Structure 1
Amino acid sequence: MESDEAIRQAADWIRDADGLLITAGAGMGVDSGLPDFRGLQGFWRAYPALRLHGLSFEDIANPAGFASNPRLSWGFYGHRLALYRATAPHADFNTLLTWASTMKHGAFVFTSNVDGQFQKAGFPAARVVECHGTIHLLQCIEACTDQAWPADGFNPLVDNSTCLLENEMPRCPHCGGLARPNILMFGDWMWVTGYADRQERKLTAWLDSVERLVVVELGAGRALPTVRRFSERQGCRVIRINPRDYLISADVGVGIASGALKALQRLDNELYEST
């Protein structure tokens, strides 16, 4: 489907919908200035100190590092935590909130992002599923408890030249051991899933209440296809927005070859001009 036709079809679906499901991958945060770690060179541009260690994203985003080199692991995650806290969501998070406000059942978010940008933009935390966890919660590295707790009291100081954490590492309040982000990592058997599980149950109940669902998928790539597959299971009105991996079966939805910010602006203009 050509771009203009896809925009018109997508706008018709949004206009008719009584519930908006937003599914989002790393591309959603790129327009806010966040790195997406695409490819080894892209990862090293974001974290040049890790090139010196010869580490890939898969190497550092791995629970084994918290045992072998915890200050390096916390340097990486501490830097990301500080970056996400300091980053303002781009303007079109508000566009999605505006669309949702016109729908009977509002919006729900399903995202693989761990950055908390949707909540920061004004989406209620109870309406956001973070399927890979969140950097804004901590857990015990040994999973001594099934509880996670807010990272609010941890303010990381990181030496960017070495990617090493300089201040005290966070500890588990239950056993006193090392704490880690409540994020699903590579090769991870210790991720505490309680918070994510509760949010997914809320999403399931919400989906059961919606009669005319529209799915807006933003920046979800094929390398880790969790978000794309979830979108495709939700029916036949999926709007896939992605500058590269935008193709989607015609019986599932339409694809728009664009970054999130530009595509949402085009859709908003189409909705406005058609009213």
Structure 2
Amino acid sequence: MTSQTEALNRAAGWLRKADGLLITAGAGMGVDSGLPDFRGTQGLWAAYPALGHAKIPFESIANPKAFAQDPALAWGFYGHRLALYRTIEPHEGFTILKRWADRMAKGSFVYTSNVDGQFQKAGFSENSIVECHGSIHYLQCLQACSADIWSAAGFFLEVDEHACRLTNPFPRCSRCSALARPNVLMFGDWAWLESRTERQQARLKYWLGSIERLVVVEIGAGTGLSTVRRFSERHGPRVIRINAREPAIDGPKGVGIQGRAVEVLSALNRLWDI
């Protein structure tokens, strides 16, 4: 079994030799910024006590049916998250990753299941990010009356945090006046409009074709929904998996390093210059 020190040194060596950095990130990436961790029902209910009182699990509130059945509650949940993501500042780990990307001949690309827009806020180019589950900063029609996806920048929110309910008027589709919803892939979601994400994926595919010595840095991607982990492993064998709880990875695919984002990225950053 590879020790933590051996894994760190091997990972630092890969970083020094790489000409392109593929950053893959799950929910654990945002924890060091102070974003809530919805791992398990108790995490959600701790952040949103009104949902806990009503015994509403994440799979039910993060669902298009919630917008149809109780739009004030659904938008209370997503609206609070949108307001949080607009105000919170990305942690130092984002700065470290940006520094590494700037050192590499072909730069970087981000592939993330997070919908929070934190990589853009940290200075990564909008054209070098794939948000595989969409983005809360964009809206679409709940009825999917058209293929339109538009920015949520003009939507300002008033949320009763105690009740987890939106108190100001709902955002509406400009075409049919139906309720608008986040352009985010939810549970049981057959109406998510994915054209924006598809364009992102096409740009990533083109970029990958130009890389000769790729290194993958995966941060905070769990096994509960393993989209990001599988994506990382498809682009091995130099995958650096950083995870506080589930760092395991098959040896031929990369190395696993246990720890939180800022802790491990800072350690690798120190080793880079040795």
TM > 0.5: yes
Q: What residue number does 1:101 align with?
A: 102
Aligned to 1:207: 208
SS for the counterpart of 1:221 is coil
Sequence identity of aligned pairs in percent? Answer: 59
Give CA-to-partner distance per residue, 1:23-72, whole Å, 9 cap, x none.
00000000000012011111100111111221011110000011110000
Q: Report how far residue 170 of structure 1 moved.
A: 0.1
Instruction: Measure, in 1, the Cα distance between the counterparts of 2:192 and 2:151.
Output: 15
Instruction: Specify every segment of 5 or more residues in structure 2 that has no aligned partner in the other structure, as ranges.
Output: none
The answer on whether the counterparts of 1:147 and 1:194 sit within 8 Å (CA) in structure 2 is no
Partner of 1:26: 27
User: 42-51 or 220-229: which moved more?
Assistant: 42-51
| Structure 1 Cα separation of the partners of residues 122 and 70 of structure 2 | 34
Contact 1:19 1:104 in 2 (8 A): yes
What SS does the corresponding residue of 2:111 show, helix, strand or coil?
strand
Q: Which amino acid aligns with 1:5?
A: E
Q: Which residue of 1 aligns with 2:146?
A: 145
Task: Tell me the distance in 2 between the aligned counterparts of 1:255 and 1:52.
Answer: 38
Q: Which amino acid aligns with 2:222?
A: G
Aligned to 2:243: 242
Equivalent-residue separation in structure 2 for 1:26 and 1:10 (angstroms): 22
SS at match of 1:261: helix
Q: Structure 2 CA distance, aligned partners of 1:181 and 1:40? A: 22
Aligned equivalents of 1:44, 1:260: Cα separation in 2: 24
Say whether the 8 Å CA contact 1:129–1:203 is kept in structure 2: yes
2-side partners of 1:266 and 1:171: how far apart? 47
The C-alpha deviation readout for 1:64-100, integer Å capped at 9, x for no partner, is: 0111100000000000000000100001201111111
Please name the residue that 1:184 is paired with: 185
2:259 aligned with 1:271: no
Other-structure match for 2:229: 228
**2-structure distance, mates of 1:52, 1:167:** 23
8 Å contact kept, 1:26–1:112: yes
Query: Does the Cα contact within 8 Å between 1:246 and 1:257 map onto a contact in 2?
Result: yes
Residue 44 of structure 1 aligns to a residue in which SS?
Answer: helix
Aligned to 2:136: 135
CA distance in 1 between partners of 2:89 and 2:158 (Å): 20
Distance in 2 between the 1:62 and 1:222 partners? 21
Structure 2 Cα separation of the partners of residues 177 and 49 of structure 1: 26
Aligned residue type for 2:215: V
Once the two structures are TM-superposed, the CA of residue 174 in structure 1 deviates from its matched residue by 1.4
> Following TM superposition, by how much is the alpha carbon of 1:199 offset from its aligned partner in structure 2, in angstroms?
0.1
Q: Secondary structure at the match of 1:251?
A: helix
Determine the structure 2 residue equivalent to 1:170.
171
- One-letter amino acid of the counterpart of residue 177, structure 2: G
CA distance in 2 between counterparts of 1:235 and 1:6 reads 15
Q: Which amino acid aligns with 2:227?
A: T
- What TM-score, normalized by structure 1, do the two folds share? 0.98
Listed one character per residue, the Cα deviations across residues 198-217 of structure 1 (whole Å, up to 9, x for unaligned) are 00000000001100000000
SS in 2 for 1:13: helix
User: Aligned partners of 1:15 and 1:251: how far apart in 2?
Assistant: 20
Can you list the C-alpha shifts for 1:147-198, whole angstroms capped at 9, x where unaligned? 2000001111110111010000000011111100000000000000010000
User: Quick one: distance in 2 between partners of 1:202 and 1:147?
Assistant: 20
Q: Does 1:2 align with 2:12?
A: no
Distance across 2 between alignment mates of 1:207 and 1:236: 15
Structure 1 residue runs without a partner (length 5+): none
**TM superposition outliers: structure 1 runs of 4+ over 4 Å:** none
Aligned residue type for 1:6: A
2:56 alignment partner in structure 1? 55
Q: How much has 1:235 moved relative to structure 2? A: 2.2
Aligned to 1:11: 12
| Residue type at the aligned position of 1:253 | G
Which residue does 2:82 correspond to in 1? 81
Partner of 2:118: 117
Cα offset for 1:119?
A: 0.2
